[in-house]
Structure 1
Amino acid sequence: MSVLRCPLCIIGSGPAAYTAAIYAARAELHPILFEGFLANGIAAGGQLTTTTLVENYPGFPEGIQGPELCERFRKQGEHFGTKIISETVERVDFSSRPYKVLSDNTQVEADAVIVATGAIAKRLEFKGSGDPPEGFWNRGISACAVCDGAAPIFRNKDLVVIGGGDSAMEEAIFLTKFGKSVTVIHRRDELRASKVMQSRAKANEKIRFLFSHVVVEAYGDSVLQGIHVRDLKSDRVKDMPCSGLFFAVGHLPATKFLDNQLALDEDGYIKTVPGSTKTNVAGVFACGDVQDKKWRQAVTAAGTGCMAALEAEHYLQTLDNGHLDA
């Protein structure tokens, strides 16, 4: 196993991680970044690599493909001197400094660490829900209405949201700006969302609800054309034509490898000091979707990546000066 030493190690490869790398490299912190190798089943670059046209990231008035945007992030980080390792971090040791970040082949020792491993949108599995050519993922099926809802294929069309929590209500309400109708499908008899969010959704004349049903199949040709849903009480299956299907069944933060060495909330997201990227371990910072369960946008992730790099730089300066500013 090769052992490398650096002031700052970054774990992750989405907009948060790459932005942190750009700022840290320009500050001459000589960062080493683990971008992962199909970590959590996703290519380096994170959730953006699973999207097609990104239209809401500043600087690209005509939009840009998600994988291309990630590649630009990566090249910019490298341009300023970030060393990128295409390996997945398996474990960390934050018990003492220098902190250790380990993959199967490499151990990096660093005085500060930024965790930017993101969160994975939960995707339900049924016939037609997967990747092309058999499935309709990114061809009518999505897990982010804010990211994809304004796309032309969804405008003035019948849309479906699967879920029963606050996120599902938010997605449904957002989609009414573009779709002709929105049907919320929930497997239970009642919603889990807060009363205020339920009231907002139920007051919207474009939204209707289908309780005690599950989707069992998605179908179409080049794009999604409809779904088959099963009534859990009668077991009958019926056809529902639609042009868009949005999963709103939660996210899984990529924090398992931390082995509880950082404080996590009840959903597994890293806890950070409000208004900061500081964790409960001095010199370890968290940014992007791994600590943000509310916004989950590329641009907000990039913003917290900037914050993490600046806070890491300040922390390392305190070490150089012989005192610790936790």
Structure 2
Amino acid sequence: MTTSRHTRMLILGSGPAGLSAAIYGARAGMKPLVVQGMQPGGQLTITTDVENYPGFRDVIQGPWLMQEMQAQAEHVGAEMVWDQIVDVDLSRRPFRLTGDGGSVYTADTLIISTGAQAQWLHVEGEEALSGKGVSACATCDGFFYRGKKVVVIGGGNTAVEEALYLTNHSTDVTLIHRRDSLRAEKILQERLFAHPHIKVLWNKRVERFVGGGNPEGLVGVDLVDTVTGEASYVGIDGAFVAIGHKPSTELFAGKLPLDNGYLVVEKGGSKTAIPGVFAAGDVADQVYRQAVTAAGMGCMAALDAERFLAEAEFEAAQAAE
């Protein structure tokens, strides 16, 4: 038997953006409903040490941080729903969304905070050593590799930017690329090639991430030359996979403007092309993709949604009079 729920504020996604929106929305009396999606808590639930979220002097655990944010949201009046949205109708308000079990949600305002997923190589050892030397975010984890030997895998802007960033912590950074030229912007390439602490391995494909030690951690990568087929090994302390991110926007293709797959929002805000629909966090952020920026965008989206609804209700009351 299907159910139907209506809310003044519906939030898709329960990462830092969605939960921050829920906290602000609940405190504004919106009684937000949070549809948690396939990965409640977002990417931080698969992150171990978090050292760059404001307010915590010591290293904290990603899953614990998300549990605390959810508890705070529920404490001030937000409600969590375990469901996955499979269909969206944004043609009129209230917006209509359908869960995979047939449940229908209608909402006066919608905040999309479905996040983005890092793209991985899907090679042996990658998943097992994730968080143990293998990462997809140099800004998040580079600090843990001070004075150590690291590699960055990729050839686009993200890979070059990650390699340059890592030189803040390491004097031994290697960029591994499967081709003989980079796709990154020319100015970034010039900075990379001019940096004394970065070298490039061309025409190399990562075959395997190698673990060792007790407790086990990353100790090296097995490589294959894409031209000659020759195998080689590089001993390292950390590896950063930088081959791009995929925002979770499949539901909104053809319904909202996208840029490289990311939702387009107005500059400096959270408004999308449809009044009453807002976006926050990595789903609309091609640049920063940090927990703290996602949380800030969630706050912005909730405030924008509350103001939008207040204005709409005021105009409706004026029209009725």
Give the counterpart letter for 1:227 in structure 2.
Answer: V
Partner of 1:35: 36
Give the TM-score normalised by the residue count of structure 1.
0.94
Give the counterpart letter for 2:177 in structure 1.
Answer: H
Asked whether the 8 Å contact 1:92–1:258 carries over to 2, the reply is yes
Other structure's SS at 2:85 match = coil
Cα-to-partner distance string for 1:25-56 (whole Å, 9 max, x where unaligned): 000001101011xx2xxx31111111111000
Are 1:307 and 2:300 matched, yes or no?
yes
CA distance in 2, matches of 1:157, 1:283: 48
Give the counterpart letter for 1:113 in structure 2.
Answer: L
Give the counterpart letter for 2:25 in structure 1.
Answer: A
CA distance in 2, matches of 1:92, 1:84: 19
Q: Which residue of 65, 69, 76 corresponds with 2:65?
A: 69
CA shift for structure 1 position 181: 0.6
Partner of 1:98: 94
Alignment of 1:97-246 (within 5 A): 97-105=93-101, 106-130=103-127, 135-151=128-144, 154-221=145-212, 222-246=216-240
Asked whether the 8 Å contact 1:91–1:258 carries over to 2, the reply is no
Cα-to-partner distance string for 1:260-315 (whole Å, 9 max, x where unaligned): 211111x1100011111000111000010000000000101111101000000001
CA distance in 2, matches of 1:322, 1:219: 63
CA distance in 2, matches of 1:10, 1:172: 35
Asked whether the 8 Å contact 1:91–1:103 carries over to 2, the reply is yes
Other structure's SS at 1:321 match = helix
CA shift for structure 1 position 180: 3.5
Partner of 1:24: 25
Quote the RMSD (CA, aligned, Å). 1.1
Other structure's SS at 1:280 match = coil
CA distance in 2, matches of 1:304, 1:187: 36
Give the counterpart letter for 2:105 in structure 1.
Answer: V
Cα-to-partner distance string for 1:65-110 (whole Å, 9 max, x where unaligned): 0111111111111001111101111121101111012212321111
Partner of 2:15: 14
CA distance in 2, matches of 1:277, 1:302: 12
Asked whether the 8 Å contact 1:91–1:259 carries over to 2, the reply is no
CA distance in 2, matches of 1:63, 1:17: 23
CA distance in 2, matches of 1:88, 1:274: 29
CA distance in 2, matches of 1:204, 1:114: 42
Cα-to-partner distance string for 1:105-156 (whole Å, 9 max, x where unaligned): 32111111000001000011111111xxxx21110000000001101xx222
CA distance in 2, matches of 1:4, 1:24: 17
Other structure's SS at 1:150 match = helix
Give the counterpart letter for 1:229 in structure 2.
Answer: L
CA distance in 2, matches of 1:271, 1:27: 26
CA distance in 1, matches of 2:170, 2:189: 19
Q: Which residue of 270, 279, 283 corresponds with 2:272?
A: 279
CA shift for structure 1 position 323: 5.0
Give the counterpart letter for 1:168 in structure 2.
Answer: A
Which of structure 1's runs of 4+ aligned residues deviate more than 4 A? none
Which 5+ residue runs of structure 1 have no aligned equivalent? none
Give the counterpart letter for 1:127 in structure 2.
Answer: E
Partner of 1:84: 80
Q: Which residue of 54, 57, 70 corresponds with 1:58?
A: 54
Which 5+ residue runs of structure 2 have no aligned equivalent? none
Asked whether the 8 Å contact 1:32–1:83 carries over to 2, the reply is yes
CA distance in 2, matches of 1:83, 1:297: 25
CA shift for structure 1 position 259: 3.9
CA shift for structure 1 position 258: 2.1
CA distance in 2, matches of 1:142, 1:102: 35
CA shift for structure 1 position 190: 0.3
Give the counterpart letter for 1:216 in structure 2.
Answer: E
Give the TM-score normalised by the residue count of structure 2.
0.95
Other structure's SS at 1:318 match = helix
Partner of 1:257: 251
